[in-house]
Amino acid sequence: MSVTKTHFDFMPDGTEVHLFTITNNNEISAGIITRGATLQSFVCPDKDGNMGDIIMGFDNVAAHIASGTYTGNVIGQYANRLCGGKFTVAGKEYQVTQNEKGKTCLHGGGEYNSAVWKAIIIDDDAVEFSYVSEDGNEGFPGKVEVTVIYRLTDRNELEIHYNAVPDRETVINMTNHAYFNLGTTANGDVLDHELQLFCDAFTPTDADSIPTGEIRSVEGTAFDFREPKKIGKDIGADDEQLIMCRGYDHNFCVNGPVGKVRPVAKVTDEKSGRKLEVMSDLPGVQLYTGNFLDGTEMGKNGIALGKHYGFCLETQYYPDTPNQPTFPQCTFKKGEAFKSLTIFKV
């Protein structure tokens, strides 16, 4: 096991961005940059032993900043969407950044993913990233002290440990927005990947991707991934939910008790032989299939990122939870920690 720290790039203001690379004894590695505590790479072998990077991303900071994909970023203070950018905490309504269509708060407004985090090597298999979000940033109440630990084990599990402690009551929902392509982006889209979700239900949305409040069974719908099926099998189905989002961009309700690490998803790419397992203790996972990638953004190694060139499995509390009283809640009091663990195993 080893961890290295190297220069990656500079921010526009001259702040240096570093790359930390964790390598296990199986020669699998994960690279994380300090801008956005971003999962920059996850390198593992295919069925013939050829190493490949299964994270869709960019070669430099400027491309990360210019992109609207959030690829690999740690997302906070509130991952996913808040309707109208509004919510109520302790009897007071807050208006936060409306950075999507001028009316929705998406991914907390962009603070966490655009900041340069502090980072220290804490073991030969782990790096801790830290950031302090000041009270009122993007309109959210409370100063929040955040740490994210990336740990790569010899079981080929990339653990992401989240810890966020506010100094007053607030909402917290954090995730990682990695786009995966088990065949690597050099080999095209992910529609032939087989996906299994351990989810019996999902949360339908309106035209602005805000949950309606319904928790709908996947039975008999294009959203049924309880048995493995290709991502592309039903993505073009005549389903209002898929048509509105141009594919999958929906929260699924993970089976099992919230707070217990349990299976979320399994993905297999038959062509490369690579597999990915996802485990988490959170109630939901957002399946996004890169519906708005259009080939205009150039990813790593100059590869044009076309439609469906990556998929995301963003473990999370449900979108718009503070405005949906029937959803599992994510309001945290002063000194009460948001703690979560997500595992990506290859």
CA distance 61 to 29: 21
Q: Which is catalytic among the residues 107, 177, 250, 308?
A: 177
Judge whether 17 and 61 are in contact, CB under 8 Å: yes
pLDDT at res. 261:
98
Judged on CB neighbours under 10 Å (0-12, 13-18, 19+), 307 is: middle
Element at 241 (helix H, strand E): helix 240-245
Q: Residue 257: which pLDDT band, with cuts at 50, 70 and 90?
A: very high
Number of domains in the chain: 1
Q: Residue 329: which pLDDT band, with cuts at 50, 70 and 90?
A: very high
Judge whether 323 and 86 are in contact, CB under 8 Å: yes
Range of the domain at 214: 2-345
Q: Residue 300: which pLDDT band, with cuts at 50, 70 and 90?
A: very high
Mean pLDDT computed over every residue of the chain: 98
* Mean pLDDT, rounded, for 320-334: 98
- In the chain, what is the greatest distance between 2 CA atoms, to the nearest angstrom? 58
Exposure string of 179-188, with b = 16+ CB inside 10 Å and e = fewer, is bbbbbbbebe
pLDDT in tens, 160-215: 999 999 999 999 999 999 999 999 999 999 999 999 999 999 999 999 999 999 99
* Mean pLDDT, rounded, for 56-67: 97
Judge whether 268 and 193 are in contact, CB under 8 Å: yes
DSSP string, 110-121: GHHHHSBPEEEE
pLDDT at res. 264:
99
177 assigned to active site: yes
CATH of the domain at 46: 2.70.98.10
CA nearest to 222, candidates 211, 236, 212: 236
Q: Which is catalytic among the residues 128, 138, 194, 314?
A: 314
pLDDT in tens, 149-161: 999 999 999 999 9
Q: ∠ CA(147), CA(150), CA(153), 5° rounding?
A: 145
Q: Tokens 């961005």 belong to which residue? A: 17
pLDDT at res. 222:
98
18 assigned to active site: no
How distant, in Å, are the alpha carbons of 46, 175, 188, 286 from that of 313?
21, 9, 19, 5
How distant, in Å, are the alpha carbons of 13, 85, 236, 283 from that of 287?
34, 22, 15, 13
| Pairing relationship of beta strands 179-180 and 51-53 according to DSSP bridges | unpaired
pLDDT in tens, 5-34: 999 999 999 999 999 999 999 999 999 999
CA distance 23 to 21: 6
pLDDT at res. 208:
95
3-state secondary structure of 149: strand
* Mean pLDDT, rounded, for 67-78: 97
Q: Residue 292: which pLDDT band, with cuts at 50, 70 and 90?
A: very high
* Mean pLDDT, rounded, for 266-284: 98
Element at 32 (helix H, strand E): strand 29-33
Q: ∠ CA(215), CA(342), CA(77), 5° rounding?
A: 70
CA distance 235 to 250: 12
